[in-house]
């Protein structure tokens, strides 16, 4: 792949089907943002590890090694919606930072609301999170741990982390029954080696958590109404798409977060639909010459 800049914006979509459709919807957005950040755009469309030692999500651990010729690499999930006024994500990254990501809002009111009734998550400490996934935690290490991260928006400095992330991927370490994939090992290594930088949460506003805020009570109630979720499931089975009512709510939800200053909105936790994403690309003007 031709290299024109010392930094890159990267997305991954392996295979056809819905993930390719997601990529096609956000392709113009991602390319335009990369250009605004003076970064190359890199599209990964195949398994980095062709032998598939670990799952597709864990392939993120190999991105820094794949793109090690770059000084900085930003990775975005396909369900990331970018505010047209989003600043350069690379601008505030310290020189000693190997990994930058948003730390999950453990202990916040919105976190407690989303996990109400799940005592295991509510009572879990940062130390518990890493220890339960097989990572060593003692009093010295505990002081270095900032928290668990979300992998939807990541910034790497490959020269500092590529080898360690690759070695973990090919190791025999298991996180047991947990589904943290790339997030726990990335966070643990960077934090315990003093190479972690907590991104401003505006770079990864997760709908999953933001729905726990009081002002978004209506959409929270819809997503936690069993009868409605059943109807939605049947609707999708019959018409092969989400219904217009929920799509409209999601579009308004994302727009409201952008209006209050979110740089990037992550349509995580069951909030994503191609219809909503497509509408948002048009509303935000991505795809046009900005």
Here the CATH number for the domain that contains residue 62 is 3.90.550
Q: State the total domains in the chain.
A: 1
Please give the pLDDT value at position 4. Answer: 81
Provide φ and ψ at 11, rounded to 5°.
-135, 160
pLDDT at 290: 46
pLDDT of residue 244: 58
Domain contains 166: yes
| Class of residue 107 by CB neighbours under 10 A (exposed 0-12, middle 13-18, buried 19+) | exposed
Rg, the chain, Cα only: 19
Low-confidence ranges of the chain (pLDDT < 70): 1, 179-180, 228-229, 231-232, 235-236, 238-245, 287-290
Whether residue 3 contacts residue 259, with contact meaning beta carbons closer than 8 Å, is answered with no
User: Which pTM value belongs to this model?
Assistant: 0.92
Burial 71-88 (b: 16+ CB within 10 A, else e): bbbbbbbbbbbbbeebee
Decide: 9 and 39 in contact? Cβ < 8 Å. yes
Range(s) of the domain holding residue 138: 7-204
How far apart, in whole angstroms, are the C-alpha atoms of residue 251 and residue 275? 9
Rounded CA gap, 86 and 286, in Å?
Answer: 12
The answer to whether residue 19 sits within a structural domain is yes
Provide CB contacts within 8 A for 117, sequence distance 6+.
none
- From the number of C-beta atoms within 10 Å of its C-beta (0-12, 13-18, 19+), residue 239 rates as exposed
Query: Given this model, what pLDDT does residue 277 score?
Result: 94
Q: Does any domain span residue 257?
A: no
Is 100 a member of any domain?
A: yes
Let me know if residue 188 belongs to a domain. yes
Going by the DSSP 8-state scheme, the letter that residue 137 receives in this structure is -
Whether 83 maps to a domain, the answer reads: yes
Task: For residue 289, tell me if it sits in a domain.
Answer: no
Does residue 247 lie in a domain region? no
CA 63, distance to chain mean position in Å, is: 14
């Amino acid at each position: 792949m031709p290299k024109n800049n010392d930094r890159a914006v990267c997305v991954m979509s392996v295979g056809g089907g819905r993930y390719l459709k997601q990529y096609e919807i956000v392709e113009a957005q991602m390319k335009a943002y990369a250009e605004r950040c003076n970064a190359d755009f890199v599209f990964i469309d195949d398994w980095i590890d062709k032998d598939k030692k670990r799952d597709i999500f864990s392939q993120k651990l190999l991105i820094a090694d794949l793109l090690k010729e770059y000084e900085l690499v930003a990775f975005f999930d396909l369900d990331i919606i970018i505010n047209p006024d989003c600043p350069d994500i690379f601008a505030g990254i310290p020189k000693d930072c190997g990994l930058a990501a948003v730390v999950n809002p453990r202990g916040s009111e919105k976190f407690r609301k989303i996990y109400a009734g799940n005592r295991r998550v509510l009572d879990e400490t940062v130390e518990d999170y890493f220890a339960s996934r097989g990572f060593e935690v003692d009093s010295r290490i505990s002081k270095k741990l900032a928290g668990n991260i979300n992998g939807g928006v990541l910034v790497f400095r490959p020269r500092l982390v590529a080898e360690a992330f690759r070695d973990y991927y090919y190791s025999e370490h298991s996180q047991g029954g947990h589904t943290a994939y790339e997030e726990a090992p990335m966070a643990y290594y960077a934090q315990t080696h003093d190479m972690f930088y907590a991104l401003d949460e505006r770079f990864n506003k997760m709908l999953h958590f933001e729905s726990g805020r009081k002002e978004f009570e209506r959409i929270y109630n819809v997503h936690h109404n069993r009868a409605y979720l059943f109807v939605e499931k049947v609707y999708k089975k019959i018409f092969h798409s989400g219904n217009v009512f929920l799509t409209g709510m999601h579009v308004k939800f994302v727009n409201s977060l952008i209006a209050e200053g979110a740089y990037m909105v992550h349509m995580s936790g069951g909030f994503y639909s191609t219809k909503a994403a497509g509408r948002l690309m048009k509303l935000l003007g991505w795809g046009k010459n900005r």
